[in-house]
Amino acid sequence: MAIKDKVSSFGKFLSGMVMPNIGAFIAWGFLTALFIETGWLPNEQFASITGPMLSYLIPVLIAAQGGFLTGGDRGRIVGAIAVIGCIAGAPDTTMLMGAMVMGPFAGWVIKMFDKLMEGKTPAGFEMLIDNFSVGIIGMLLAMLGYVLVGPVMTAILAVLMGGVTILVQYGLMPLLAIFIEPAKVLFLNNALNHGIFTPIGIAQAEETGRSIMYMLEANPGPGLGVLLAYCFFCKDAKTRQSAPGAVIIHFFGGIHEIYFPYVLMNPKVIVAPIVGNMCAIAWFSFTGTGLTSAASPGSIIAFLSMTPPEFLITNIIGVAIAAGVSFVIAVPLVRSMAAADLDAASEQMREMKGTSEAAVISDTQGGKIVFACDAGMGSSAMGATRFRNRIKAERPDLTVEHSSVDTVPADAAIVVCQRVLSERARKSAPTAQIVTIDNFLDDPALDALYKALTELASAHGLKGDAVAAPALKEEPAKDKPAPVLSVTADDIQVGCASLPREDAIRASGELLVEKGCVDTDYIDAMVERDKLTSVYMGMGVAIPHGTNEAKDAVRRTGVVLQQYPEGVDFDGEKAYLLFGIAGKGNEHLEVLAAVCKAIEDEAVLEKMKTTDDVDWIVSVLNQAK
């Protein structure tokens, strides 16, 4: 794994502990901003809540989440117990960094203990051993935290705070922007923000009620300046028209990733947010301002919500300085661009982000990977089948399944889904690693996931027959009759004239109706399914199929194929083969498995896109069953 990917993985792991608990930071931030002596509404009683929240609640939450990431539910409990020792051992230090160390370590310890005891627990003593092991290990780790981890983390934080003091003393804080802005574009912002800036910020805010560290990465001004330059001065009409929408999403929504493609299409533009942020940090340092808590996401709304009342105008000026300087520098760079290719830059960003997201951050040995789509029927089933076949030789210990995005199994370690479904996937599987993709067959994130999993296999000695596969079957066939699938020449149309996307999907449905596989209602359901999430699979293949609610319109299992030599446009991607499918019950799974097997050979797939030999296609599909 490349160094960048390792750093990104580490950042994601840190983020995985902090982000689920951002609400606690916000609660503490609001209490601080409102009720401390210099707050908006000073109140001594309510202000007294902030101390216990910062000293106990937030570290325990982070440690528990870290323990869960490495050791599951038992790790969560041990992590929470262990960090109390760190807190007691360093009562004058907010033990955020201690929690980020002790929580994952405690989860790993209990996991190793459970592996050691596997198969050795006497019958009838399971509950006794489970409970006592958590209590005893938690106690020992709390003692270790008191004696060692708490004091060490205090020393490390003191060194970091000393470094910040030196930077402030010598006016060097603005130089941090040289590292922050490129790191953001490379998706390393979480490693900086939640791994370094937030712990220091909390320590500062505990003493003074605010910290400049919260402002370094979250300031929306630098990105705003870049986007405004594209709004008014980009020569490419498509890019110029897209920029205003990006401004709203970035500035008010706090999604900074929206401006990354605009930098990637012209890398020289990175100078603009760097200098803009440098000027803003210089202003913030000069005025002594700060935020009361982390502004996440980095929108102007969150940024100002965490601003102490006496610094409201100061911080608005700082954001304006960042935006203005960034805009002035970006304008000539944007105007001098010979050509702008936002689509190519967006694709580059997707590949980078996909690679970053697919870098596995936890131990996946014996784990479950779930491909999820809206209904759990077509796209995800085919994606799971193809990835299962690809990974099974290197990682026989893994289970690869598919499901609806709303019913992901609780024990899923990794969930693979399309980007538009990512938030639903996070709600369905809050503890799983989410890998987002654009299509299920040839997305760069799938390549990165495969690479990361196989590298872990080499590291842990899991390759080949080292570990028996627990369940690598397509789907249990028990009590299910084999589907009747016999493709004939009548089911295939080659040399079709290119059609608009919806018309092509309807043509596929009409052929299924003609073959007696479905009722006419199924056609509208196929169009609706594509609107929910694209039926384009990648590699020039689309698989139109109906929604889950349209199952009653299926008369019998069947598949049809229409070949479009000039392609059908699916959001900029060309589909040359449209496999229309319908399945009774769960028989669509076997149909998808057969299609997936048929196109596994890329040479066969490429020939299928252009050949007029219908008999050959029939032979290939029938042999793949």
CA 277 to the chain's CA centroid: 26
- Contact (CB, 8 A) for 437 and 384: no
- Contact (CB, 8 A) for 611 and 619: no
Q: How far apart are CA 189 and CA 202, in angstroms?
A: 18
Residues whose CB falls within 8 Å of the CB of residue 567, separated by 6 or more in sequence, listed in order: 498, 540, 574, 575, 576
Q: How far apart are CA 230 and CA 326, in angstroms?
A: 12
Instruction: Give the DSSP per-residue string, 44-94.
Output: HHHHTTHHHIIIIIHHHHHHHHHHHHHHHHHHHHHHHHHHHHHHHHSTTS-
Sheet strand arrangement including 433-437 = 399-404, 368-373, 414-418, 433-437
The catalytic residues are 373, 545
Torsion over CA: 370, 620, 602, 506 (sign): negative
Beta bridge partners of 536: 542
Residues whose CB falls within 8 Å of the CB of residue 227, separated by 6 or more in sequence, listed in order: 243, 246, 247, 250, 258, 259, 262
- Contact (CB, 8 A) for 230 and 266: no
Q: How far apart are CA 294 and CA 18, in angstroms?
A: 11
Residue with token string 């012209």: 266
- Contact (CB, 8 A) for 192 and 291: no
Q: How far apart are CA 406 and CA 428, in angstroms?
A: 5
Q: How far apart are CA 479 and CA 404, in angstroms?
A: 22
Structure token pair of residue 63: 């440690």
- Contact (CB, 8 A) for 62 and 21: yes
**What is residue 534's three-state secondary structure?**
coil
Q: How far apart are CA 441 and CA 381, in angstroms?
A: 11
Q: How far apart are CA 32 and CA 20, in angstroms?
A: 20
CA 619 to the chain's CA centroid: 41
Query: Pick from 306, 347, 59, 107: which is nearest to 205 by CA?
Result: 306
